[in-house]
Amino acid sequence: MELASYARGSISGFKRVVKSPVGCNIIDTLNMAWGANTDGEPVDGVFNEELHWSCEYGWHKSAPHANGVLFLGYPGTTASQPPVLSYNWWTGFFVNPAYDFGPRRKENYRDFQTGGTGWPLGDANRYHVMSNGEIDYDMLYSASIGLNDPVWLSPPYEVAYLTSTQGLSTGIPNLLSIGPYDIPPGFTVTFPLAFVCGKNFHTDPNNKANLPHQLDRFYDNLDFSDLIQNATWAKWVYDNPGVDTDGDDYAGKYAMCGDDTVYLSGDGIPDWRAAIPPPAPVFRLEPLVNGIRILFNGQKSETQTDGFTGLVDFEGYRIYSGLDRRASSMALIASYDRKNFDKYIWNGATDSTIAYNIFDPPFTLDSLRCLYGTGENPCRDTTFDPLSFTITSQYFHPEFEDSIFYFLPHDHNAFEFGITTPISKVYPDLPDPATYHPDSIPGDAYTEEGYLKFYEYEFTLENLMPTIPYWINVTALDHGNIDLGIKGLESPVGSGAQAAYPLAVSDAAAGGNTKVYVYPNPYRGDAGYRDLGFEGRTQDDRPDHRVRAVNFANLPPKCTIYIYSLDGDLVRKLDHDMDPSDPNSSHDSWNMITRNTQMVVSGLYYWVVEFEDGSTQMGKLVVIM
């Protein structure tokens, strides 16, 4: 893979190992080739990323960022030894062999027969470079390679000076190779790669003055953190760390961080999955008189581990309702989120707008009391209230004078069922299943569907019109991961939505006394029912005459609907057969197409509903087209 930088002055190098973003000074293998502008192209002594005019360069702007490329994985070779990784760079001055240079180990020297050691002309030379197993030093170190260097060939003076002070102005071919592979004709080998970028790589507009003699100081002013983090994320997306994808009890390479096990890699089986929100809860709808009862179970939402972050980061639920299933049509009608708090830590700045940062996941009230409560047992200090410490009245740690912070609720802290949130627990008195041994949870703790009753919730949507369907969805959200820069995620609002018709007052009659009714009646072709939302929802691609509908409500789950003309001719037969648990089992509609596939005409019609026991109900329907 060739990574080239084309700028007035460019540098490149290789990061074999880095400090892992997981912390604890854990060293992780990265093997990333990187490239950047030599000094970030400051404009008038500062980094300016807006276009700037100069007579020398025309319109230009600063380039303080960097890029990199790395293999995410690679197949094994046909030979017994593992694949060999090589990283090589060379100069772009092929027109003058005196400037044609590429780092070469003395023990691995090969005469390219070009007069230089840079450009590998011909397949034999190219395959040699791709398989030499060398990891070349960063370009800026060229001037430190002398004639008596025990490992590397010394570069020509002119090349060493240019590469160590200016970078190269014609581009730097960088070659990242893996192999060898014996590939028969017609076969292919797949190599997943990541090309990543890093912001604010250059931190000092005057850093170039440190070249070539104060190279350590120059590198101290380069910030690899964003580039390393993005490269690490790419590796984690490809193969989630700590996830045993193939079920062979190996979840990847790990290290210990105190008493915690921190996974640095996955199991070698690609996952191609980034951080994801918790799975949406399983929910069902129960029509009520002028309302809909929403019941949902969040067992998986609250207990499933995020395969990317390795955390159970459930934060809460949101309930949406709309007149169609599109996410843009959904409105938030209720929410619940756990009681937790964000801690804003003073970073030493004097500007209050930037003086505080969040470095930790949200804290529970109990955990904050244990950390900052007072008395013999701080964890039981009920007088400690995190919200009493604000940006104008901060908490000052008694033992560490520089530890200053304040707290805010994470999300809304709408956690009191039936009080601060309209959502309620169906079984509020059941104990948390975590208090049981997994093998000792009693059978009556489960619903008929096999979910734990502890995670059953409900919410009733009231004051609804019984003549239109309402789309409902329940989502789950997490609190994200501050260390990884991942904001809170929510399961899709528009995916998995369900629709239900509320019952009319007459639907509340008991048993066989329920009365079927039809609407709109009369049906008027000029009434604009589509604009009113009675027909044609989610069917924007169909004309008005193809979305007409006459609705039958208060039906039993199974029955047959007949529509007759005034003369007794059968116009249409509808077989209504639905699962009784379906929230729409009491509703059906007729598209006003006859059994001869023609649009119905104006007139008076009779409808008959035949129940399973043979009894019937009938009524009249007027159509005015």
The reported pLDDT for the residue numbered 94 is: 55
- 466: CATH: 2.60.40.10
> Which amino acid, one-letter code, is at 584?
N
**Residues of the chain above pLDDT 70, percent:** 93
**Residues 432 and 553 reside in one and the same domain:** no
β partners of residue 204: none
**What is the rounded average pLDDT of the residues 518-530?**
88
Give domain status of residue 256, yes or no.
Answer: no
Q: What does the pLDDT look like over 10-40, one tens digit per residue? A: 899 999 999 887 778 888 899 999 999 999 9
Q: How many domains does the chain have?
A: 4
The reported pLDDT for the residue numbered 220 is: 96
Q: Are 306 and 361 in contact (CB under 8 A)?
A: no
Q: What does the pLDDT look like over 283-327, one tens digit per residue? A: 999 998 889 999 999 999 999 877 677 678 899 999 999 988 888
Domain boundary among 409, 435, 451: 409
**Residues 441 and 535 reside in one and the same domain:** no
Fill in the DSSP letter of residue 230. H
Q: What share of the chain is helix, strand, coil (3-state, %, to 5)?
A: 15, 30, 50
Q: Are 35 and 5 in contact (CB under 8 A)?
A: yes
Model confidence at 3, in pLDDT bands (50, 70, 90)?
A: very low
**Residues 495 and 517 reside in one and the same domain:** no
What mean pLDDT is reported for the chain? 87
Model confidence at 7, in pLDDT bands (50, 70, 90)?
A: very low
Strand extents, DSSP E, 258-313 = 260-263, 282-288, 291-297
**Residues 224 and 104 reside in one and the same domain:** yes
| Greater model confidence, 242 or 429 | 429
Domain boundary among 409, 438, 468: 409
Q: Residue 162 contacts by C-beta under 8 Å, 6 or more apart in sequence?
A: 168
Q: Are 21 and 309 in contact (CB under 8 A)?
A: no
**Residues 107 and 159 reside in one and the same domain:** yes
Domain boundary among 467, 500, 533: 500
The reported pLDDT for the residue numbered 546 is: 83
pTM for the full predicted model: 0.66
Give domain status of residue 41, yes or no.
Answer: yes
Give domain status of residue 470, yes or no.
Answer: yes
The reported pLDDT for the residue numbered 69 is: 97
- 536: CATH: 2.60.40.1930
**Residues 322 and 382 reside in one and the same domain:** no
Tell me the CA distances in angstroms from 427 to 201, 432, 456, one per residue in order: 54, 11, 7
Query: Is the alpha carbon torsion for 233, 238, 244, 248 positive or negative?
Result: negative
Q: Are 378 and 370 in contact (CB under 8 A)?
A: yes
Tell me the CA distances in angstroms from 97 to 49, 112, 113, 116, 142, one per residue in order: 37, 11, 11, 5, 17
Model confidence at 507, in pLDDT bands (50, 70, 90)?
A: low
Q: What does the pLDDT look like over 566-596, one tens digit per residue? A: 889 999 999 999 988 888 888 899 999 999 9
**What is the rounded average pLDDT of the residues 478-495?**
84
Question: 289: burial class by Cβ within 10 Å (0-12, 13-18, 19+)?
Answer: middle
Residue 495: closest CA among 477, 515, 475, 521 = 475
**Residues 39 and 56 reside in one and the same domain:** yes
Give domain status of residue 575, yes or no.
Answer: yes
**Residues 365 and 512 reside in one and the same domain:** no
The reported pLDDT for the residue numbered 607 is: 95
> Which amino acid, one-letter code, is at 156?
P
Q: What does the pLDDT look like over 199-224, one tens digit per residue? A: 999 999 999 999 988 999 999 999 99
Give domain status of residue 493, yes or no.
Answer: yes
**Residues 364 and 461 reside in one and the same domain:** no
- Using DSSP's 3-state secondary structure scheme, residue 438 falls into helix
Token duo for residue 195: 């090309």
- Domain limits for position 374: 340-409
**What is the rounded average pLDDT of the residues 524-534?**
83
Residue 15: closest CA among 29, 32, 2 = 32
**Residues 330 and 395 reside in one and the same domain:** no
Give domain status of residue 270, yes or no.
Answer: no
Strand order in the sheet with 10-19: 10-19, 27-37, 66-71, 193-198
Give domain status of residue 253, yes or no.
Answer: no
Q: Are 412 and 337 in contact (CB under 8 A)?
A: yes
β partners of residue 52: 60
The reported pLDDT for the residue numbered 466 is: 83
Q: Is there a cis peptide before residue 438, judged by omega within 30 degrees of 0?
A: no
Model confidence at 79, in pLDDT bands (50, 70, 90)?
A: low
**Residues 510 and 568 reside in one and the same domain:** yes
Give domain status of residue 5, yes or no.
Answer: no
Q: Residue 286 contacts by C-beta under 8 Å, 6 or more apart in sequence?
A: 292, 293, 295, 500, 583
**Residues 402 and 485 reside in one and the same domain:** no
Place of tokens 């972050």: 309
Model confidence at 439, in pLDDT bands (50, 70, 90)?
A: confident
